[in-house]
Amino acid sequence: MAQTDSNHMRQLVVFKLGDKEYGTDTLNVKYIEEVLPITRVPRTPSFIKGVINLRGEIVPVMDLRNRFNMPAADVTEETRIIILNVEDIQMGIMVDSVLETLEIPEESVENTAGFGNDVLMDYIIGIGKMDNRIINLLNLSKLVNIF
């Protein structure tokens, strides 16, 4: 069994959906954008908001609230689209707000295998605990699996 370095840290972009905090590895984050005009694409799942034209590139945008079966929320000044690069796929995820970048020790992350069969848990790869915070870590491979 491989030994893990106790000093290994994960760098995360932390964002909010509702009252919960989520994180994704900074290595997968290409840009964080204010909400741009989104063009709906016919015959796509409801959780795909549409596409944006980002500096000449067409990027699909997923509404994470919809994907996680959360109630819809109004777009505010805090709403952001996080542009991700995962497995050679570029996509955006719409979130309520981006809070910060954060380093979290690897030993503070718990695997979520066996936490249940909730739809949301399919998209969570781990739970980070820091101070009094719980940060749900996204399984980006699973999220981009629809593309």
CATH number of the domain bearing residue 50? 2.40.50.180
User: 63-77, 78-92, 130-144: lowest mean pLDDT where?
Assistant: 130-144
Q: Torsion angle of alpha carbons 103, 17, 61, 143, nearest 10°?
A: 70
Domain boundaries, position 61: 9-146
* Interatomic CA distance for residues 24 and 100, integer angstroms: 11
Q: What is the pTM of this model?
A: 0.87
Q: What is the pLDDT of residue 120?
A: 64
Q: What is the pLDDT of residue 3?
A: 43
Count the domains in the chain: 1
Confidence tier at 59 by pLDDT (50, 70, 90): very high
- In angstroms, what is the C-alpha Rg of the chain? 16
Position 1 in a domain: no
Predicted confidence band of residue 135 (pLDDT cuts 50, 70, 90): very high
**Residue 27's Cα: distance from chain center in Å?**
12
